[in-house]
Structure 1
Amino acid sequence: MAKDYSLMEDSNRSSNRSIHDISDPSRRIVLRGGLGMAIGRLLAPVAAGSAGCASGARGDGPLLGFSSVPVSTADKVVVPEGYIAQVIAAWGEPVGLYGETPAFKFDGSNSAAEQEAQMGMHHDGMHFYAQDGSRSGLLVMNHEYADDGLLHADGMKTWTAEKVRKSQAAHGVSVIEVEQQGDDGWQVVRPSPWARRITACTPMSFGGPAAGHALLRTAADPAGRRPLGTLSNCGSGITPWGTYLTCEENFSSYFNGPEKPSPHERRWGLRKGGAGCRWHEFDERFDATRHPNEPNRFGWIVEIDPFDPGSTPVKRTALGRATHEGATVAVTRDGRAVVYMGEDARFEYIYKFVSREKIKPRGLRENAQLLDHGTLYVARFDADGRGRWIALGHGQGPLTAENGFADQGEVLVKTRQASDLLGATKMDRPEWIAVGPDGWVYCTLTNNSNRGTQGEGVDAANPRRNNTTGHILRWKEEGDVDGTRFRWTHFVLAGDPANERVEAQGNIKGDAFGCPDGLWADGRGVLWVQTDMSPSAMGKGDLTRLGNNAMLAADPHTGEIRRFLVGPVGCEVTGATGTPDGRTLFVNIQHPGERPSGRSDPEQPGRYSNWPDARAGGRPRSATVVIRKADGGPIGT
């Protein structure tokens, strides 16, 4: 589904206060102090990586040592002088399964079976798992959605079961092995014993309190414990015990809903026809009129063991159901896991999960069920700059059978409804969350052009009435990271100071940007910000002068922001990870050349972009960009 703002979900009709009801950006601008959060000492090197920070001190020199790149509308990736950008792992390249190396066909004629062995479409969140220091490792990445106009030779002019299967195979997760090969740069290793594709049809399991719940049972799975597939995989996270967390985001778009949805279906954005992907025509599990519980089996955080290609991915229900954008892990001082999560939909919420048990030091096997037991919280932000985490526990406050919550499993399936009743703060599409080493947690809020038009949070103290450019919020927990109280501030209001509309000017100290989305804190403490302006809005209105989507580097201590990378036409810049030595950066370029009005025209696949191949008769492809300094130094210096 194309990220057309007119199609974005907006289903929260609760009377809860929004962040704009209680915000006063004039007094909540950048606080002085360093980035991040101390995440504990247990499994310190891995745990620190899970929170977005590795070993290495800032030192006394400037954190940002490169010259900003200018705004660009070119169909290429632009990086600072002295940097090298290399493209690998484009959609359709073989992932490296033994005996299966189907080449990409530029006319869109690859079969569904071939797509199951190839990189999926629309790369998103990812992580690099080092093997040989910083020279080789596994790169695990999400594939958020498919553009059927590009995926098939004739787009959707004809529609078949084979096309549905191919589209489902283009979703999910890829695990590939990569290594640095001298002057040839980084390459995908083929074949590889770790290579794997996880798709919308991969067998999975449920873990946690909702496993087996009546709301998760279907005709194909009467026990409610064996879901099939993952989709709309957007943001990601990693755990200190070495697993990968992938997040199911806009799942309701894939389902054909009833003409008159129930209150539960309506709260989750279910509608007749969904977003027009038409899977239900040949895969009846995506017809919610026939299988009303099937949508309840999506919207979860899925845990994957990247080093065991035969393992079963697990949907961790204790972390709640939402249109999850990311899952960022920190560690308490006594060694318990804390998972921060955003929900990318208008007026939805920010969550935190705290595990009941401590992380075991021996790795995956001993921590296999760690995320199945603990407490899920939702955030409330108050006008005095304080906030609190409210527990989503059955029997607490209004979360009772009388209010539609028979047990904890139902609370988790209906996380949104429970948060509505608890008075959580309605946010402007909370997306990625980054945690650093000394106390601050950052969250991107991409935008909400419905803010004000629906009567939400309109008052004189709120200049972001029609929040077209978004902002970055941050908070610091009072006490340890499992605390229930915090203080918060705006880190930056995105925008363009040249805008005539005052509320869209922002307060950026440095290079202008709009619609922050991806967020990652590297080992030196740099906060990397990636943007996702929709092609339908790019170059128009408040975004007129911002060019293509970009990746920027922020110094949390000074508030300075510099533009580091600009992507090709129509793309989203997303997903960031690096090698432990900080000398290689991996960034994903998603949906280059996306058509502003939706799916691509199969008659003109390269109308807007022909990146990265730039060949006649080709089609744009999502891919990973590997960035290094020509002198071999750390990225950003």
Structure 2
Amino acid sequence: MTENGVRPVDPDDTSSNPSGNATFHEVAQSRMSRRSVIRGGTVVAAAGFLGAAGVVGATGGTAAAAPDAKGRRRLLGFQAVTPSTDDAIKVPAGYSAEVLIPWGTPLNSRGPQWKKDASNTAAEQALQIGMNHDGMSFFPLGAGPFGARQGLLVLNHEYVDQVLLFPDGDAQMTKEKVAKSLAAHGVSVVRVAQVDGRWKHVDSKYNRRVTGSTPVTFSGPVGRAHAALQAKNPAMGTLNNCSNGQTPWGTYLACEENWNSYFGTTDTTWKPNAEQARYGVNAAGFGYKWHQADPRFDLAVNPNEINRFGWVVEIDPFAPESTPVKRTALGRIKHEGATVTESRGRIVVYTGDDQDGEYVYKFVGSAPWRRLRALRKSPLDHGTLYVAKFNDDGSGEWLPLAHGTGPLTVENGWKDQADVLLRTRSAADAVGATKLDRPEWVAVQPHTKDVYLTLTNGSGWDNDVNPRKPNPYGHIVRWRERGGDNTALSFEWDIFLLAGDPAYDPTVKLAPEDVFGSPDGLGFDRDGRLWIQTDISNSSQNLASKKYDHIGNNQMLAADTRTGEIRRFLVGPRGCEVTGFAMAPDQRTLFVNIQHPGEATPFWAPNSAPTPQNPNAVSSWPDKDPASRPRSATVVIRKNDGGVIGT
């Protein structure tokens, strides 16, 4: 997993896609040469569906809130935050940020308290907030102003840093350490409320943990009785939950991303089969070493356990005794998220597969979701999964991953629909989907229904995302489904925004206070502000050798997609990723997650990565206590005058 505590290469930057499908680099290069122009750092169609997007960064972070030249109300009214390398949260003047639920917080007040030396047991960790907060949703408890002041906050815990999780680190793996790691993964459901004008975590019957050991079940074409899911232990757990989704019927979708990382074997005769290799499965995994202490994660001993991961998991936050359900109709990939929208009464779920050279997918319900639920059927079990193909004339199409359609036939080795979904990546290869550079979060504009997708960066191999090769900064793609109908099977696409630093790439015209790289998290608020969160790899943060020396720590920005205006809103502490996005219904409270502060970062600790003896080598946020260690946490951001976030 690491070398001297530093992960030298992000595994997501290494492709496991051997197909000859067209790359987005090839498609976009042709697209730019035929129909597009570069205007102020944003690639826009000269004569396309989106028209001119304006000049990104042209306002230079001014705080003006007056109407623009077309008389439209400006969405961005705050003073942009400048880049920072401080070990602190930075927000605009007139805003405040408070830590709410850091890793180790007891679910309820009588639960086990956090121990600064990380000596909490596995059993205690299962009753505490997990590690490395990620995707998140807010479910109001009540309507109107009442619901804006209290609700259930549901958040993912993507992975664990075992150097910080145990008092003595992970040099020696034990069954208890595996159990604690599992308990620190998964999902937390906690009630939060405004008490005396401040947001607090409060006791509730709803407070709950779903961990790597919680019983789960399966629904859809790959049912719980399917042969591929029969392992040597009961079906349990969800792992590496990155982003998320929220359904219109009030459930939460947790998304399993780098699930391959936890499995390994010491059996020298074991070799990955073609499908395992396609998902990046190997004997070493990402170095967690769980297989050394728990046969559940040994690929040679328990080969089917890995098939139970790679799914979207539905959790009912209002039913604490309910069993999480893995919805297999949405496919088995490295799900970055599951963004849900509604069109013609049917649900549509968009999801990126976060690895270099992978694809973006959407699931379209077979009937209006209310009708299906009235028949006691899950809308997530009934529908068709599609994968995107981007054409070089600016058009695109959704290719069905349906057994018996196109090449997905018995004659070509596809047994049935369950087989297609278990081997989703190979099915997408077969139909000719377009390779992308690390497709991550998806956001749907609430008024136009246009769809936005972050492409975090390109590795430099021969399908880097246009217009740069290599593409160390990433960009954002957008498309409009035909007729503005998200269930449609064709679309028009363009490139909304190139991230980067104009000091190294003159095609980028971002203002100095707004430069950023590696867009990852993405979400719209109800007014149409696009919130962008970054995940610059710790191996690149602040380093001139990586062309990131002017950008500072990871951050969050806001954009007006009508004008292209963008401003930096938040900067995180050292070594962190800024992720997770949830708004209270009145848009006067923003919840953001700070993930892995203090993780090994060469810029801050070139000679000494964090160790059990010195966990604060990079960061001591948020406790600022030399006897403690850095902790992921949810942060509550409010405007001091009580106004709408972003104004």
TM-score for the superposition, normalised by structure 1? 0.90
1:182 maps to 196
1:484 alignment counterpart: 489
| CA–CA distance in structure 1, aligned partners of residues 237 and 10 of structure 2 | 28
Give per-residue Cα distances to partners, 1:1-37, cap 9 Å, x unaligned.
67753433420010001110011357162444899xx
1:340–1:126: structure 2 CA closer, same or farther, 3 Å change rule? same
Measure, in 2, the Cα distance between the counterparts of 1:389 and 1:573.
31
Q: What does 1:367-378 correspond to in 2, within 5 Å? A: 369-378=378-387
- State the shift of 1:354 in Å: 0.5
Residue matched to 1:456: 463
Structure 1 gap segments, 5+ residues each:
36-57, 222-226
Q: 1:327 to 1:4 in 2, by over 3 A?
A: farther
Instruction: Indicate how the Cα distance of structure 1 residues 368 and 178 shifts in structure 2: closer, same or farther if over 3 A, else same.
Output: farther
Q: 1:475 aligns with which of 472, 479, 484?
A: 479
DSSP 3-state at the match of 1:411: helix
> In the aligned structure 2, how far is the partner of 1:386 from the partner of 1:622?
41
Change in Cα spacing, 1:6 to 1:331, as seen in structure 2 (3 Å) is closer
Aligned 8 A contact 1:215 1:410 in 2? no
Q: Deviations over 1:279-299 (max 9, x none)?
A: 112221211112222211100
Instruction: Tell me, yes or no, if the aligned pair for 2:138 and 2:151 is still in contact at 8 Å.
Output: yes
Task: Report the CA distance shift for 1:277/1:600 in structure 2 as closer, same or farther (over 3 A).
Answer: farther
Shift of residue 366 of structure 1?
Answer: 5.8
CA 1:80 to 1:154, structure 2 compared with 1: closer, same or farther past 3 Å? same
Cα displacement string for residues 56-106 of structure 1 (whole angstroms, at most 9, x for unaligned residues): xx9942110001000000000000000011101000001128xx5111000
Indicate conservation of the 8 Å contact 1:200/1:231, yes or no: yes
* Correspondences of 1:71-470 after superposition (within 5 Å): 71-96=83-108, 100-131=110-141, 132-183=146-197, 185-190=198-203, 192-211=204-223, 212-220=225-233, 227-256=235-264, 259-333=270-344, 335-360=345-370, 369-436=378-445, 437-449=447-459, 451=460, 454-456=461-463, 462-470=466-474
**Alignment match of 2:626 (pick from 601, 607, 616):** 616
CA contact (8 A) 1:494 1:507 kept: no
1:506 to partner: Cα distance: 3.2
Maintained 8 Å contact 1:579/1:585: yes
1:390 is paired with a residue of what secondary structure?
Answer: strand
> 1:368 and 1:89, CA in 2 relative to 1: closer, same or farther beyond 3 A?
farther
Cα distance in 2 for residues equivalent to 1:365 and 1:617: 55
| Cα distance, 1:154 vs structure 2 | 0.5
Structure 1 window deviating more from structure 2 (104-113 vs 537-546): it is 537-546
Q: Which residue identity lines up with residue 187 of structure 1 in the other structure?
A: K
Aligned-residue offset at 1:152: 0.4
Percent sequence identity over aligned pairs: 53
Secondary structure of 1:23 counterpart = helix
Counterpart mapping for 1:22-41 below 5 A: 22-24=27-29, 25=32, 27=36, 29-30=43-44, 31-32=50-51
Counterpart contact for 1:360–1:367, Cα < 8 Å: no
1:568 aligns with 2:573: yes
Aligned AA (2:350): Y
Q: Secondary structure at the match of 2:154?
A: strand
Q: Shift of the alpha carbon at 1:507?
A: 4.6
Report the CA distance shift for 1:613/1:315 in structure 2 as closer, same or farther (over 3 A).
same
CA–CA distance in 2 between the matches of 1:354 and 1:463?
31
Q: Give the partner amino acid of 2:406.
A: G
In the alignment, is residue 583 of structure 1 matched against residue 588 of structure 2?
A: yes
Asked whether the equivalents of residues 140 and 176 of structure 1 are also in contact (C-alpha less than 8 Å), the reply is: yes
Task: For residue 141 of structure 1, give the secondary structure of its aligned residue in structure 2.
Answer: strand
User: 1:498 and 2:512 equivalent?
Assistant: no
The 8 Å contact of residues 242 and 364 in structure 1, kept in 2 or not, is answered as: no
Superposition deviation, residue 602 in structure 1: 0.9
Distance apart, 1:439 and its partner CA: 3.1
TM-score by length of 2: 0.89
Distance apart, 1:448 and its partner CA: 1.7
List, as ranges, runs of 4+ consecutive aligned residues in structure 1 with deviation greater than 6 Å: none
Q: Alpha carbon RMSD of aligned pairs, Å? A: 2.1
Asked if the contact 1:259/1:272 (under 8 Å) is kept, the reply is: yes
Whole-Å separation in 2 of the counterparts to 1:599 and 1:269: 27
Q: Contact between 1:328 and 1:434, CA under 8 Å: does it hold in 2?
A: yes
Distance, in Å, in 2 between the alignment partners of 1:186 and 1:516 is 28
Amino acid at match of 1:156: D
1:414-444 CA-to-partner distances (Å, cap 9, x unmatched) read: 0000000111000010000000121310000
- Decide whether the 8 Å contact of 2:464 with 2:471 is kept in 1: no
Q: Secondary structure of the equivalent of 1:410?
A: helix
Whole-Å Cα distance in 2 between the matches of residues 34 and 495 of structure 1? 18
Give matches, 1:531-570, under 5 Å.
531-540=534-543, 541-570=546-575
Residue equivalent to 1:224: none
- Equivalent residues, number: 595
Distance 2:324 2:592 in 1: 25
In structure 2, the CA distance between the partners of 1:395 and 1:433, relative to structure 1 (3 Å rule), is same
Change (3 A) 1:599 1:156: farther
Rounded to whole Å, the distance in 2 between the matches of 1:259 and 1:471 is 39
Q: Which residue of 2 aligns with 1:53?
A: none
CA distance in 2, matches of 1:4, 1:236: 27
CA deviation map 1:79-134 (0-9, x unaligned)? 0000011101000001128xx51110000100000000000000000001111320
Q: Distance in 1 between matches of 2:353 and 2:510?
A: 25
Query: 1:395/1:314 Cα in 2 relative to 1: closer, same or farther (>3 Å)?
Result: same
Q: SS in structure 1 opposite 2:147?
A: coil
Separation in 2 of the partners of 1:155 and 1:123? Answer: 20
* TM-superposition CA deviations, 1:287-327 (whole Å, max 9, x none): 11122222111000000000000001000000001100010
Report the Cα distance in structure 2 between the residues aligned to 1:545 and 1:265, rounded to whole angstroms: 40
Deviates more, 1:435-444 or 1:141-150: 435-444
Once the two structures are TM-superposed, the CA of residue 214 in structure 1 deviates from its matched residue by 2.2
For residues 375 and 94 of structure 2, the distance between their equivalents in structure 1, rounded to whole angstroms, comes to 45
| Corresponding letter in the other structure for 1:204 | V
Match of 2:11 among 7, 10, 25: 7
Aligned residue in 2 for 1:39: none
Given that 2:592 and 2:635 are in contact with CA atoms closer than 8 Å, whether structure 1 keeps it comes out as yes
User: In the alignment, residue 156 of structure 2 is paired with which amino acid?
Assistant: N
Change (3 A) 1:109 1:332: same
